[in-house]
Chains A and B, each alone.
Chain A
Amino acid sequence: MEITVNDNAYTIDVEPEMPLLWVLRDELGITGPKYGCGIAQCGACTVHVNGYAMRSCQLAVGDLGNREVRTIEGLGTPDSMHIVQEAWIEHQVAQCGYCQSGQIMQAASLLSTNPNPSDEQIDAAMSGNLCRCGTYPRIRTAVKAAAKKLQGS
């Protein structure tokens, strides 16, 4: 089976029902997407599939077809961050940080389709992403700050 992750093509030999999350983490060593629940309740595993945020724990790799996967590693790097990541740093969002790959991928997906979301739209888009540390107030601020930057650029 062939899959494309962060613009790289990989050949993998796994069961088609294996969740994308575990293909990424255990087969490809791409550990930015995190395991939190395995049942679509936390969003820690969020990646982009053809640009849209999806829960990689719910996506059987066999159903991926030729769609392209982007993980947080492919969104930006410490030396060249995505606008959302920059906002996250500026507002010092992360505590333990474990949920933040998912939060950032969710926010980036939101802003790519809706660069100027209302408070309600932010709430709606981000509420499937759990943060046990309670970083929410800064997530909200950072999403708004990133949106503002997008407007300006």
Chain B
Amino acid sequence: MGRLRTITRRTFLIGSAAVAGGVVFGTYLAKRPIKNPLLADLQEGEAAITPYVKIDATGVTLITPRADKGQGAYTMQARLIAEELDIDPANANLTPGMPGPAYYNGAVMEEGVPFPAYDQSAMAENVRKFMHVPAKLFAMQMTGGSSTVPDGFVKMRMAGAIARETLKETAAQQNGVARDQLNTEDGYVVLPNGTRIPYTELASAAATIEPITDVQLRPKSDWRFLGKPTQRLDMPAKCTGTEKYGIDLTIEGMVHAAVRANPGIGAELKSFDAAAAESMRGVQKVLPIKNGVAVIADNTWRAWRAANAIDITWAAGPYPASTDEIFKQIEQVVDSEEHRDHRQRDEGDVKAALDDGDIFEAVYKVPYLAHAPMEPMNAIVLVTDEQCEIWTGTQIPLFVRDHAAELTGLDKDKVFVYVQPMGGSFGHKLEDTHVIQAVEIAMAIKGTAVKLVWSREEDMTHDYLRPGAIAKGRGKVVDGKVDTLDLSVGQSALMADWFGRLMGITIPGPDATITTGSWDQPFAIPNYRVTGYRAPTMVPISSWRSVGASGNGFFHDSLLDELIHKAGADPLAERIRLCLDDTSRKVLEKVGEISDWDGPSLGENRGRGVSFCLSFGVPCAIVTEVTHTEGRIKIDKVFVVVDVGEVLDPVNLEAQVFGGVIFGMAHAMNCETTFENHGAQQNNYHAFRGMRLYQVPEFEVVALSNAKKIRGIGEPGVPPSAPSLGNAIFAATGQRIRELPFNKQIDFV
């Protein structure tokens, strides 16, 4: 346990604080004890033990502050605590708690960056290496970057263990027995004579003693919940229509709102005529808001209908009007010294290698993409003179709070954000434009709650997109081996855009997301160079499931595949030969084993492609088998191998992996967001189809545990999915497609 103690000391302190009727104690995730959000609503007689456990006479509450957007975060966090606390999570209450500094993402604290400190994390790399982090970032309670598990793995179990030992100590003192004579079992402390004392009965007394912080985490062999196939706690509600997402909530006396904001994102409203809308049934008010118009009505449909009846004149968007013009700007920066942003990989002598011989060159392109989770953006807001309450599904509750405080002029501690379960996000809910619109509307009708729901069209045309990018690849093969790989990637700076929007600051220095997923791959190629070029800020962009690696995974692996083909080598064997990381090599070997790999050909009109990407610290290899039938591609079977260090929930892991691969492949097949007259053209799912059941291949997923550090799995399946499909299409048809989506050049079944 030596290693555990080191981690513990460095990342959080243990402390306690007395409160009325009890005490709160546990893992304070800071270098000093900070204000505990649980104290605010503690009742007489209640004791809150650690920021993650609260026990009172009515039961045990596990606080799971990382938002659940579908990845199973609530269940995972509850299990981490319960494993040590000795309680069946199914018998505990779960709550995301109130946002507060005590819940900030510990991975943030560890390195002082707003994202988990993984070597390969796009966000972390960017910030850690290149920028000074403003002090106020130190308290970010955010969900993102596949960080929930790595962040909580030690600290949430510690919270459970401290609570357990303190409850035991309380029982020990009350009964005159030594603590080490006691056991715990499903919410009870068990005395040597078999007497069972419920935790709930010990709670108030536990609040009066010194917390027991000298605890050891249980070895893996003793785990009851972790590492075992178990059922997600939210599953029954989600299968019976009883899960309440933000969009399903109602607040007493609530009215409904719709907005139409400028399709040229960020540009102003010039004028509007709402005469027709105002006379429609149920409409209570039409009001201008920042960059748009809002309608308040007595239900969602009436609000939307009225919003569509408003005649609006918009100012032109603050970026090039069309996709062609946007990509022209990106194209211009690639390989332009003036726009060079960073070069984090430069091995051998690429320049000399590319000076003579048979040089391979190719250009790759990925489109802008909307997040388009099934639940559109929504928020309920109630503003009074004294306070502001917000109910919304969000990955950034503290930013929401701060922005609402700024707009209303209220103190931050008068703004309350109640985080709701999310119907998907994929990074969409790392933004809060819709919440701030709702606050603006609520300020106009103080004392009445308002629920704003974006229509699908409003949502998809006001998304902050996955950036489009262009990459130029060059390379050379020598003696049947890949000798030189040179990749130049051009794209706008995602982190600068996001920070600018959320924090109003300009961050200096390079933006590593431009090359994350390509510069950091575990290969040894004699001459190996990856360079990022920065295009100007154009349409607003943001993090999209797997962030920088979503495009770079395609660029890097496609180029590597082409060079291997040129070398006449086997795609899998050559990747294995080039691989310099043990864990990654085993992942490649395993995918070969489970797919019975013996080359890309599978006979007439059939083929398979292998791909690899290391992202968020997780090596992921995929083999995809396709058939070319009547001019169409059918994806038959997909084999995926990952290594997350420690598999805490094999059932959910598998779902996250195939879900990530389907997400990546679906967009690669047929999705893009294009612009005309400054507006996004794809405003609903008819034009952004994704994958449908009949197109879904069979899956085989294997998770290895060779890696030393535990990792999250929400994102790593995405980056290698597009190239594995592209490589398979090449194997089956001889056609190499270098631009996404693939359906611009080939049809799918």
Contact = CB atoms under 8 A, between A and B. Distances in A.
Contacts of A92: 231-232, 235, 651-652, 655
Interface string B418-460: 0001111110000000000000000000000000010110000
Contact of B690 (A34, A130, A135): A130
A132 B239 contact: no
Residue among A27, A126, A135 with max Cβ neighbours from chain B (10 Å): A135
Contacts of B374: 34, 36, 42, 44, 96, 98-99, 130-133
B704 interface: no
A97 B456 contact: no
Interface in A11-49: 15, 18-19, 22, 25-27, 29, 31-39, 41-42, 44
A78 B426 contact: no
A36 B685 CA distance: 9
A137 interface: yes
Nearest to A73: B241
A38 B70 CA distance: 22
Given A38-B456, A92-B231, A99-B374, A26 B659 contact: no
Nearest to B249: A31
Most buried by B among A36, A41, A97, A127: A97
A72 interface: yes
Contact of B426 (A37, A85, A98, A132): A132
B236 interface: yes
B130 interface: no
Interface size class of B (residues with CB under 8 A): 35 or more
Given A26-B301, A41-B685, A132-B372, A32 B231 contact: no
Interface in A88-119: 88-89, 92-101, 104
A138 to B, nearest CB: 7
Contacts of A38: 455-456, 684
Could you tell me the dominant secondary structure of chain A's interface residues? loop
B241 A32 contact: yes
B604 interface: no
B694 A72 contact: no
Given A81-B240, A92-B232, A136 B686 contact: no
Contacts of A42: 374, 685
B629 interface: no
A77 interface: yes
B158 interface: no
Contacts of B692: 127-128, 130
B239 A95 contact: no
Contact of A132 (B237, B250, B424, B686): B424
Nearest to A38: B456
Contacts of B231: 89, 92
A13 to B, nearest CB: 10
A125 to B, nearest CB: 9
Given A22-B300, A96-B423, A127-B693, A132 B240 contact: no
Contacts of B520: none
A132 to B, nearest CB: 5
B237 A100 contact: no
A82 to B, nearest CB: 9
A89 to B, nearest CB: 5
Given A26-B256, A37-B684, A95-B655, A134 B240 contact: no
B603 to A, nearest CB: 23
Interface string B662-680: 1100100000000000000
A98 B655 CA distance: 16
B129 to A, nearest CB: 32
Contacts of B696: 136-137, 140
B242 interface: yes
B693 A76 contact: no
B399 interface: no
Nearest to B240: A78
A99 B250 CA distance: 20
Interface string B218-253: 000000000000011011111111111101101000
A101 B244 CA distance: 12
Given A26-B300, A132-B373, A96 B422 contact: yes
Contacts of B300: 22, 25-26, 35
A139 interface: yes
Interface in B349-373: 372-373
B586 interface: no
A26 B455 CA distance: 15
A27 to B, nearest CB: 7
Contacts of B234: 94, 97
Nearest to A29: B250
B93 to A, nearest CB: 16
Nearest to A39: B684
B149 to A, nearest CB: 16
A65 B241 CA distance: 25
B238 A94 contact: yes
Contact of A140 (B232, B422, B693): B693
A127 B424 CA distance: 19
Contacts of B373: 96, 98, 132
Of the listed residues B234, B456, B652, the one surrounded by the most CB atoms of chain A closer than 10 A to its CB is B456
B691 interface: yes
A96 B299 CA distance: 25
A36 B460 CA distance: 12
Nearest to A19: B301
Interface string B533-556: 000000000000000000000000
A122 interface: yes
Interface string A37-81: 111011010000000000000000000000000011101111001
A123 B695 CA distance: 9
A95 B301 contact: no
B501 to A, nearest CB: 23
B70 A77 contact: no
B375 interface: yes
Contacts of B71: 95
A31 B451 CA distance: 15
B118 interface: no
A124 interface: yes
A104 B423 contact: no
A94 B541 CA distance: 29
Most buried by A among B374, B455, B659: B374
Given A26-B299, A39-B684, A72 B658 contact: no
Contact of B684 (A41, A88, A94): A41
Interface of B: 69-72, 231-232, 234-245, 247-248, 250, 256, 281, 299-301, 372-376, 421-426, 453, 455-456, 651-652, 655-656, 658-663, 666, 684-686, 690-694, 696, 698-699
Given A41-B684, A77-B240, A99-B374, 17 more contacts: A26-B256, A31-B244, A38-B684, A78-B242, A89-B236, A94-B234, A94-B235, A95-B655, A95-B656, A96-B70, A96-B374, A97-B237, A99-B423, A127-B694, A128-B692, A133-B424, A137-B658
Interface of A: 15, 18-19, 22, 25-27, 29, 31-39, 41-42, 44, 71-73, 75-78, 81, 85, 88-89, 92-101, 104, 122-124, 126-140
26 contacts: A25-B300, A72-B240, A73-B242, A75-B240, A76-B240, A92-B652, A95-B656, A96-B373, A97-B70, A97-B239, A98-B373, A98-B374, A100-B239, A127-B694, A130-B374, A130-B690, A132-B373, A132-B690, A133-B424, A134-B659, A134-B661, A134-B662, A134-B663, A135-B655, A137-B696, A137-B698
